[in-house]
Chains A and B, each alone.
Chain A
Amino acid sequence: MPNFNFPAAAGWQAKIVPGGRRLPNETMSQTKPILAIKNLHVSVEDKEILKGVSLTINAGEVHALMGRTGSGKSTLSYTLMGHPRYKVTAGQILYKGEDLTAMPADARARAGIYLAFQYPVAIPGVSVSNFLRAAVKARRGTELTIKEFRKELREQMNRLEMKDDFLSRYINDGFSGGEKKRLEILQMSLLKPELAVLDETDSGLDIDALKTVAGGINAMTGPDLSVLLITHYQRILNYITPQFVHVMQEGRIVLSGGSELAHELEARGYDWVTQEPAATTDAAVAQALAP
């Protein structure tokens, strides 16, 4: 496993969560983390949603974040992207060692952070092709010629099995669930982020679409891309293998482990996280983390 030397002698920290379990909440490695979230508290309209999230992702790693609906996964994804509605009240988000908290969304995007939205927004009147060109120009800082742009676009669209008429349609306007998710991944392939947060990119996809979209994501993963893959179900993890799985509950990460944890969750349900005695969980974690 790349960059995986958990638990490192000095860096490992334990945290006691309700239920008395010890949880690893930070992984350390020799490489500098691309993302380090430290004790993050986030409020929406004065209601605290995230209550101390800590998570470290090193370059090239794929982390899955699972949890029930309403546990705060999308809140974390919006916060990472810099949505002004989500207020950081305590803690830090370090991207390549720099604190992001004051950075607006567009600057984060240009710096290489990408969010695939759980619910992509429709913008009537703005064609996909105009938008993609503007976005690519913003991210890369130079404008591609129409020819170069078309060529690159065609390749990526073929891979995602998207038809040309997509380009003249308006952003997400009247798109099916699957079309929206494909457009999210198409944008990601053009913007070439270093850190991608994929918020339930799998939900609403039939099995063929899921395979295509997962294939698109897998084609991008590698040492230059780190991924936080947010999902409600284990299903997409049959196609994309994370090195780490985290479970969120009521605004906190309550459990972390290796990819097996996802299967365990699938088999036993999220209730297991709260109900099972600590020992089982620790055993699962220990197993997951064994080299």
Chain B
Amino acid sequence: MTETKTASTIARQRVDDLAARHGEAGWLKEARLSDWELYLKCPMPTPRDQDWHGTDLSALDLSAFTAVDFQPVEPKSPPEHPFVARTLRHFSRRAGVIVQAVGRPGYIELDAGLAARGVILCDLSTALREHGDRLRPYLAVPAKPDLNKFGLMARALFNCGLFLFVPPGVEIDLPILSMALTGGATAGSAIFPRLIVLAGDNSKVSLIHASAGEGAGRSGGGESAPVLHSGLVEIQAGAGARVSFLDLYQFGSNVVSVNRSEAAVAQDAEFTSLTVALGGGTTKSDIATYLQAPGAASWVSGLVLGSGHEHFNFNTIEEHNAPDTRSDINFRVALGDSSASVYQGIIRVARVAQRTNAYQQNRNLLLGGQSKADSIPKLEILADDVKCSHGATVGPVDRDQIFYLMSRGLTESEAEELIVLGFFKTVLESYPVAEAVDWVLESASQKLFRKPSGQTPAI
């Protein structure tokens, strides 16, 4: 079989120029260059690769994308934007906000009391200038061996993002919001955001991050070229810390989004992660959790709502690297129209990780006649005293549930919508930020309401 051959070669010059433009420290440029070298060696993924399982981005020429940056953030006023307005209204009680946008100034606010106690919230460029020493131990480390070509590209070329630092012992009860608006990106552009969250020992923090944008190449030619979003998230939960992270994507159908998030969870720390994928032409995300010390625990959940021809490919990776660790995965996918999803859940239990408790559940609701879902659990267990279970279901909405609601006067589509939101809600109810539940459901229902067009709301 012959393949569409694409170059995807990125000149070293691009890395050099980027480092020079930002006046970056030597260690950072070295880190970029070593990832760039790995990038060059790493083959373009094909749909036959295990981790990609049917997701085909092999025709993309990665070298053709032009990186665009977010504009600087200012503590003035949030950009006028329906998504931002709705989100701020919803989380009127919050500890901080950062809004970053392509093509317009961003916004930042942080509770003064928290700032005084050493909490840092800023865009990544500022962080690299002002807090390089804090970042260095996390950025100047080799990439994980399973990071794909897109991730390596993002590590070589990342140009924007966020830094959140919570000192040991500081407990932040209210959520911190981060919004990244990519709607200003034109066809053929690429965005490489990198989020770094360092939660000190016994700290507590909740970060709610939303990436939203149509990215439909409104200006200029090359209408058919997609926008590439390749994001990296790195979270460190210190000993005894309680960290929750909500990652919501709401992209237009012209966005190819390939993401990797990694959380390292230390002794007795609790990490909660919720990924909400509400749209994008192709979305491929790896969500990896490393339970590194005894007592570490993670709850990783995901909600995916597809429509039109959207394609989703999620891998969750739970690594139990120490004894007495717990993980619980709950991934729910609802697919309308001709949308498709692949979910792969990997649980790895190291030989030392005795008394691991790992649970994985994936449920898929097929709403559209042409929709399709695959679910692939993978268990790699080397320890012998382990509790590990998994389950998956794929099927249409229960006709008896639909009939029950219709027998009370709801139309078929109203009934289906309630059932889908309920399907999501049972996952959300264990999320530690109560305000997030309605915000997510509202975002999902906006998409459901627009079902016929298969488009996410204009961002």
A: residues with CB less than 8 A from B are 81-85, 104-106, 108-110, 114-115, 117, 120-121, 123-126, 130-131, 134-135, 138-139, 170-171, 187, 191
A33 vs B22: C-alpha distance when bound (angstroms)? 83
Q: Which of chain B's residues 414-451 have a Cβ closer than 8 Å to chain A?
A: 414-415, 418-419, 421-426
B408 within 8 Å of A by Cβ? yes
B111 within 8 Å of A by Cβ? no
Most B C-beta atoms less than 10 A away, residue of A106, A124, A134: A106
B65 within 8 Å of A by Cβ? no
B-chain residues with CB within 8 Å of residue A134 when the two chains form the complex: 408, 410, 414, 418
A126 vs B404: C-alpha distance when bound (angstroms)? 12
Q: Which 9 A/B pairs are nearest by Cβ-Cβ distance?
A: A125-B422, A138-B409, A135-B408, A126-B422, A125-B425, A109-B409, A121-B404, A105-B406, A106-B406
B56 within 8 Å of A by Cβ? no
B359 within 8 Å of A by Cβ? no
Using an 8 Å CB-CB cutoff, how does the interface string of B263-284 with A read, 1 for contact, 0 for none? Answer: 0000000000000000000000
Asked if B422 and A123 make an inter-chain contact with CB atoms under 8 angstroms apart, the answer reads yes
A115 vs B419: C-alpha distance when bound (angstroms)? 20
B80 within 8 Å of A by Cβ? no
Asked if B406 and A120 make an inter-chain contact with CB atoms under 8 angstroms apart, the answer reads no
Given A121-B401, A123-B401, A134-B414; A81-B407 close (CB under 8 Å) = yes
Given A123-B419, A125-B419, A134-B408: 9 more A-B contacts, CB < 8 Å: A106-B411, A109-B407, A121-B403, A125-B426, A126-B421, A130-B418, A135-B410, A139-B409, A187-B408
A120 vs B423: C-alpha distance when bound (angstroms)? 18
A170 vs B409: C-alpha distance when bound (angstroms)? 18
In-complex Cβ contact of B418 among A85, A106, A108, A131 (8 A): A131
Most A C-beta atoms less than 10 A away, residue of B407, B411, B415, B422: B407
Asked if B412 and A126 make an inter-chain contact with CB atoms under 8 angstroms apart, the answer reads no
B421 — nearest CB in chain A belongs to which residue?
A: A125
A-chain residues with CB within 8 Å of residue B407 when the two chains form the complex: 81-82, 105-106, 108-109, 114-115, 117
In the complex, what's the smallest C-beta–C-beta distance from B434 to chain A, in angstroms?
A: 13
B114 within 8 Å of A by Cβ? no
A242 vs B407: C-alpha distance when bound (angstroms)? 24
In-complex Cβ contact of B404 among A110, A120, A125 (8 A): A120
A83 vs B398: C-alpha distance when bound (angstroms)? 13
- Say whether chain B's binding surface is mostly helix, strand, loop, or mixed: helix
B-chain residues with CB within 8 Å of residue A106 when the two chains form the complex: 406-407, 409-412, 415
Q: List 28 A-B contacts (CB under 8 A).
A: A81-B403, A81-B407, A84-B399, A85-B399, A105-B403, A106-B410, A106-B412, A106-B415, A108-B407, A109-B406, A109-B407, A109-B408, A109-B409, A110-B409, A115-B407, A117-B404, A124-B423, A125-B422, A125-B423, A125-B425, A126-B422, A130-B418, A131-B408, A134-B418, A135-B408, A135-B410, A170-B426, A191-B409
A84 vs B406: C-alpha distance when bound (angstroms)? 11
Given A126-B421, A130-B418; A121-B400 close (CB under 8 Å) = yes
A289 vs B399: C-alpha distance when bound (angstroms)? 42
B405 within 8 Å of A by Cβ? yes
Asked if A126 and B419 make an inter-chain contact with CB atoms under 8 angstroms apart, the answer reads yes
Asked if A84 and B403 make an inter-chain contact with CB atoms under 8 angstroms apart, the answer reads yes
B398 — nearest CB in chain A belongs to which residue?
A: A121
A109 vs B409: C-alpha distance when bound (angstroms)? 5
In-complex Cβ contact of B409 among A125, A126, A130, A135 (8 A): A135
In the complex, what's the smallest C-beta–C-beta distance from B412 to chain A, in angstroms?
A: 7
Most A C-beta atoms less than 10 A away, residue of B400, B408, B411: B408
A-chain residues with CB within 8 Å of residue B415 when the two chains form the complex: 106
